[in-house]
Structure 1
Amino acid sequence: MDRAWLTLGLVVGGTIVGLMGTDLVLPAVPGLPEALGGDPSRAQLVLAAYVGGSCLGLLGFGALGDRVATRRLFVGSLLAAALASLACALATSIEALIALRAVQGLAAAAPAVFAPGIIKAMFDDAQAVRAIGVLASIESLAPALAPIAGAALLAAGGWTLNFEVMAGVALVVAALLGWTGGPPQVSRRGRGSFVALLRDPVFLRYAISQALVLAGLLVFVFGMPTVFVRVHGAGLTAFVVMQVCGIATFIVAANVSSTLVARFGAERVIAAGTWMAAAGALAQLLYALAGGTATVVITALFVPVNSGLGLRGPPGFFRAVLASRGDDARGSALVILFVLAAAALGTTAVAPWIERGTVPVAAMALAFHLVALGCLLLLPGLEEEKKEKDRRAVSRPSAP
């Protein structure tokens, strides 16, 4: 059992490598035009390219998982991510860095695909719930802590040090996994398909609403370093404070979410969290349209967005897995894919107007939140599906 928890720690380390690709690099983005040429809009594509590459990696590793041993893919992807990170550190132009970031994102996607299945293979049901809770807690802290570490690395050794550290972490985790024998092989049942899930309105209700609430938050986070530094003149410290406050409130909300679900039901908590996040995004946009630039106000308005995500996140993701009809791996991969695809598209759409301040960033975030609300209002949920099945069973004539 101790060995299983050690392996879990390394699996968590592998998923953190993927998260580092955005959050650790964020503080370096505003200075990339001076270091490599280009302009702020192209610098934003350094983030979008990584997320876009991760989208391709989710699908690619999902397909390869039926043919290649999970442990080989897991360790191999970490080694490839390390090489891609080193190549990023050696880039001499913004265009080269954008291309290499897409490769880096693709290589680092495997842990997110295989982590849920690996956890299920190592633990019984009760321990798996606890292990997934550990994974989620650490992953929720990474966006708050990685920008702080990224800012320190940027000050210590310039933008290249951020990528060199990513390479070192990926190599260490891969080496330790190899030393421990690697994660267990996950057996594939060969049932279901991505197409079937994409045609299921119940699954789409939970998966798309979950993805777009998170993607709306990410688009805002991806844009604000440049807005704070280049438009508001506030410096990276203001961004770090905003992130720390947001993640802290997310953790609190996520920890009380299960209690609220037990009292009020999953659907009410999901709806309340979604409305809260949308209200925060609307307040951000209205404040920006009014000309507001005070970082303390922007940070305060960021709190309800994070709180809403924290409330709806655990039950929303769990219901998306339930709605995948036992096809847990593909269901989880699609939720992550929706998050990354939406974040990449939103970041790319905002990039040409990034120097106009908070307005375009907040507007794109709000658009995602409104679509998430639309999914909850228009698509059927698990309760509605169950009621419909019960109605059909009652109305079906009994056999003679």
Structure 2
Amino acid sequence: MALLGLLAALPTFGIDMILPSLAATAADLGAPGSEVGLAMSVYLLSLGGAPLLLGPLSDRFGRRPAVVWGCTILIVASAGCMMAQSLPQLLAFRVLQGIGASGPGTAAFTLVRDRFQGKEARAKMSFVVLVINVVPMLAPSVGAALLGIGGWRLIYAAPIAAALVLLLVMRFFDEPTPPDPRSCPGPAEVAGVYRRILRNPLFLGNALCNAAMGGAVFAYITGSSLFFIDALGLSPERYGLIFGASSLSVMGGAYLNSHFGRLGVSAGRTIVLGLAVATFVAAILFISALARSFSPVPVVAAMVGVALSFGLISPNAVHAALQPMPEVAGSASAVAILLQTALAAVSSDLVARLFDGRTALSMAGVMLAFSLAAAGIYSGLSHLSERGALTAPPRSTGQSAERETR
């Protein structure tokens, strides 16, 4: 369990650890604050896109080489970020960081599939999903502490230390199955698998719903830093405390999700509840921002509400997306990750570019737009389910998959 947690945490920690340092980075590199926000976007895009290639490669050469080479690239790229003298240099090394971090991230999913089955596999996958969603919300607090100790460059030492620890652990790791040269499909076969995944409406609807809610989460992740530090003038340390405390609500959402399951509340109803809460708090913040309010109360309320909603929605939506295609669950997971990171990158970039320097309007508008998009996608998915228009999953999982979408 500890190895899975470290594999899942390493790539996701790199997403938001730099949030408290955006203003300091911009000042030191002589770049506009809105453009420094691209350091998050390019990392997300490379982190989400690389698994599409690393998945087949890890099948061919094994899980250990994927993790070892990923950690090596991550260490080199992080050192490059520490020494960057211009924004283009920083962005280039952030792209390499994302590629390197995707090695451990891909292994976290594939090792669950390799080593566990049945209920134990589902429990381990839930743990991986929880780590992936919680760590980015706690990373700014660590980043703020490192910023206060040694400046923005010191923040990039954290992934170096974590990657070195993981390399040490991997020395004692045994491959669950020996690499098989015949297991790596050709480009045409890989493309065919991905076409099949993208044509499945049950997968696509749930994956897009999850990705859109991820976009809403990243709207507040990026926007809260700009609002509290740039607009209100809070110190990075105080912002880290506010962010860390409010983002713990995603764990509250995950706990409520488990509790609702024990009470017999369907996954579909839990998703609808999460969508309603997210849309409501985002709408309240949007109205407040339009009124030129500088109060932090609606901002914190929106942060708590959207994080709580994501904890309710994401585990159920991801599970429902993978249900109809258990034989290609690894490839389907890669597509779901790519969709979520791509929309998160778009959301983060929009918030940074539209920030007016005074209010949370860009954060509120993007958050509301993505929440409404998630609600619309899931509404359409439910409508298709009621009409029986969804592609039928395999017989062994058909009933549970149908329950997940309703």
Distance 1:11 1:83, change over 3 A: farther
Shift of 1:253: 1.9
Shift of 1:276: 1.4
Residue matched to 2:172: 179
Question: Which whole-Å deviations, capped at 9, do the CAs of 1:191-226 have from their partners, x for residues lacking one?
Answer: 861111111112111000011102211122123212
Residue matched to 2:401: none
**Conserved 8 A contact 1:210-1:372:** yes
The SS at the match of 2:327 is: coil
**Conserved 8 A contact 1:70-1:185:** no
Unaligned runs of 5+ in 2: 393-406
Cα distance in 1 for partners of 2:305, 2:257 equals 14
Cα distance in 2 for partners of 1:24, 1:186 equals 35
Please point out which of 377, 383, 393 is paired with 1:375: 377
- Higher mean alpha-carbon deviation, 239-248 vs 39-48, is at 239-248
Cα distance in 2 for partners of 1:381, 1:306 equals 26
Cα distance in 2 for partners of 1:105, 1:11 equals 18
Q: Which amino acid aligns with 1:359?
A: L
Cα distance in 1 for partners of 2:341, 2:353 equals 20
Please point out which of 19, 29, 33 is paired with 1:26: 19
Shift of 1:140: 4.1
Residue matched to 2:398: none
The SS at the match of 2:80 is: helix
Distance 1:388 1:354, change over 3 A: closer
Q: Is 1:226 aligned to residue 226 of structure 2?
A: yes
Distance 1:294 1:237, change over 3 A: farther
Distance 1:364 1:105, change over 3 A: same
Shift of 1:182: 5.8
How many residues of Structure 1 are paired with residues of Structure 2 in the alignment?
Answer: 383
Cα distance in 1 for partners of 2:155, 2:178 equals 32
**Conserved 8 A contact 2:211-2:336:** yes
**Conserved 8 A contact 2:58-2:65:** no
Cα distance in 2 for partners of 1:348, 1:209 equals 20
Cα distance in 1 for partners of 2:273, 2:52 equals 32
Question: Which whole-Å deviations, capped at 9, do the CAs of 1:90-109 have from their partners, x for residues lacking one?
Answer: 11111210111111111211
Distance 1:279 1:88, change over 3 A: same
Residue matched to 2:368: 366
Cα distance in 2 for partners of 1:349, 1:389 equals 34
Residue matched to 1:304: 305
Question: Which whole-Å deviations, capped at 9, do the CAs of 1:156-208 have from their partners, x for residues lacking one?
Answer: 11111111221121122112212334665588696861111111112111000
Cα distance in 2 for partners of 1:359, 1:389 equals 40
Q: Which amino acid aligns with 2:123?
A: R
**Conserved 8 A contact 2:384-2:390:** no
Q: After the TM superposition, which residues 1-400 of structure 1 pair with which residues of structure 2 at under 5 Å, given as runs?
A: 8-181=1-174, 193-261=193-261, 262-356=263-357, 357-379=359-381, 383-384=385-386
Unaligned runs of 5+ in 1: 1-7, 391-400
Shift of 1:277: 1.2
Cα distance in 1 for partners of 2:244, 2:137 equals 5
Shift of 1:316: 1.4
Cα distance in 1 for partners of 2:123, 2:333 equals 18
Shift of 1:384: 3.9
Q: Which amino acid aligns with 2:373?
A: V
**Conserved 8 A contact 2:202-2:391:** no
The SS at the match of 1:233 is: coil
- Higher mean alpha-carbon deviation, 238-247 vs 111-120, is at 238-247
Distance 1:31 1:295, change over 3 A: same
Distance 1:61 1:346, change over 3 A: same
The SS at the match of 2:140 is: helix
Quick one: percent identity of the two aligned structures?
26
Distance 1:126 1:378, change over 3 A: closer
Distance 1:235 1:259, change over 3 A: same
Shift of 1:389: 8.2
Distance 1:120 1:314, change over 3 A: same
- Higher mean alpha-carbon deviation, 117-126 vs 17-26, is at 117-126
Shift of 1:386: 6.0
Cα distance in 2 for partners of 1:185, 1:98 equals 37
Q: Which amino acid aligns with 1:33?
A: A
Cα distance in 1 for partners of 2:367, 2:89 equals 29
- Higher mean alpha-carbon deviation, 51-60 vs 377-386, is at 377-386
Cα distance in 2 for partners of 1:159, 1:214 equals 26
Distance 1:341 1:69, change over 3 A: same
TM-score (norm 2): 0.86
TM-score (norm 1): 0.88
Question: Which whole-Å deviations, capped at 9, do the CAs of 1:274-313 have from their partners, x for residues lacking one?
Answer: 1211212112211111112222331123222122111122
Distance 1:231 1:387, change over 3 A: closer
